[in-house]
Amino acid sequence: MILSERMSSRLTDAHGEELSLRIEIVDVESLHLHEEIVLELLNSLTYEIIRDGVLRHPIIVDRNTYVVLDGAHRVAALRQAGYSYAPAFLVDYEDSAIAVFRWYRIVKGEEAFERALEAVKQSGFLIKEGVDCERIGIPPIVAALKSATSASSVYSSFQDLKEAYDYIKRIEEKLKELSLEIGYESEFDALNKLKKGEVDVVLLTPKLSKRDVIEAALSKRVLPYKVTRHVVPNRPLYLNVPLELLKGCSIEKANEELKKALKKGRWKVIAAGSLIEGRRYEENLYIFEGL
């Protein structure tokens, strides 16, 4: 369902133009995930959703393929808890305003760079000094390691980016075995934290295309956790959709009830670059108030 003209008139983009958000209740079984589910995160989120009685944020879905761009664990949690539907912000993934970026891995710990190099070698990969960021993800360069003073590339033969990221996952697991702390940041934030001395090493990863994302989902050759980072203009947050709308009635009825609730509420615009729940959003956000 596309928000009515009355609702759209209360929403404007950064240029003051009227804005419509296509928000619908969709069948969770129609959705395709492109990244792996982490069991610990899934169980924690399932508990949180059931405890709160609402799904706070809509998932982001390509309206043409029903590939989930953001919200895989929410979809999996709803399925695990026995819910039939999910609230979705449906977008045209081919829109040039929607961009796909990557998550760099940040590493903390004593002698982190030397131990990271050792982790790469123990994982069966070659190391060469120097980094050409434009060639990361082009065989044979799997990834790169960068500290404040040094940089090296990780080499191995691989067929595609799915295989490259499987290798990166293997490296991450080895880093954890060596008691190094692993986190995820945007390219800019990761390198900025490295410059400020807030992290010790950054693991630079390949960038995927939109086509890579769609193919991974539809082929069911899903990518590891935290590979893609999507920037989706005018992203809606905090719909707080009651779980009672997500099973026990027809999808038509669920959409009608959601439409009524959205008409009664208000939207608050949050500027791009805001930090929400520990995540920095590079797009304008629309916070829903009133459901």
Contact between 232 and 258 under an 8 Å Cβ cutoff? The reply is no
Structural domain boundaries of the chain? Answer: 5-98+232-289, 101-208
Per-residue CA distances from 121 to 29, 154, 161, 172, 269 (Å)? 41, 9, 20, 12, 48
pLDDT digits (tens, 9 = 90+) for 91-131: 999 999 999 999 999 999 999 999 999 999 999 999 999 99
Looking at 3.90.1530.10, 3.40.50.970, 3.30.565.10, 3.40.50.300, the CATH number of the domain 5-98+232-289 comes to 3.90.1530.10
Residue 19 has a pLDDT of 61
Q: What is the pLDDT of residue 10?
A: 44
pTM for this predicted structure: 0.91
Asked if 225 and 50 touch (Cβ cutoff 8 Å), the reply is: no
The half-sphere exposure of 111 on its side-chain side, counting CA atoms within 13 A, is: 7
List strand residue ranges (DSSP E) for the chain, in order: 23-27, 54-55, 59-62, 68-70, 85-91, 99-108, 126-129, 141-146, 151-155, 181-186, 201-204, 228-231, 235-237, 241-242, 266-270, 275-276, 279-280, 285-289
Beta bridge partners of 68: 61
Note the pLDDT of residue 2: 39
- pLDDT at res. 7: 34
Q: What is the pLDDT of residue 3?
A: 39
pLDDT value at residue 51: 97
pLDDT < 70 regions, the chain: 1-19, 291
Class of domain 101-208: alpha beta
What is the C-alpha to C-alpha distance for residues 30 and 221, in angstroms, rounded to an integer? 17
DSSP annotation string for 105-119: EEEESTTHHHHHHHH
**Which pLDDT value is given to residue 11?**
52
- Bridge partners (DSSP) of residue 195 are none
Question: Which pair of tokens denotes residue 162?
Answer: 């799915």
Task: For the beta carbon of residue 194, count every other beta carbon within 10 angstroms.
Answer: 20
Nearest to 268 by CA among 242, 241, 230, 237: 237
Q: Give the span between the Cα atoms of 44 and 53, in whole angstroms.
A: 14
Backbone angles phi, psi at 245, to 5 degrees: -80, -10
Query: Mind listing the pLDDT tens digit for each residue in 252-281?
Result: 999 999 999 988 888 999 999 999 988 889
List C-alpha distances in Å: 267 to 154, 181, 236, 274: 46, 38, 9, 16
Q: Which amino acid is at 94?
A: E
Do 5-98+232-289 and 101-208 agree at the fold level?
A: no
The pair of structure tokens assigned to 81 is 């808890």
Compute the mean pLDDT over every residue in the chain, rounded to the nearest whole number: 92
Summarize pLDDT for 87-96 with one digit per residue, the tens: 999 999 999 9
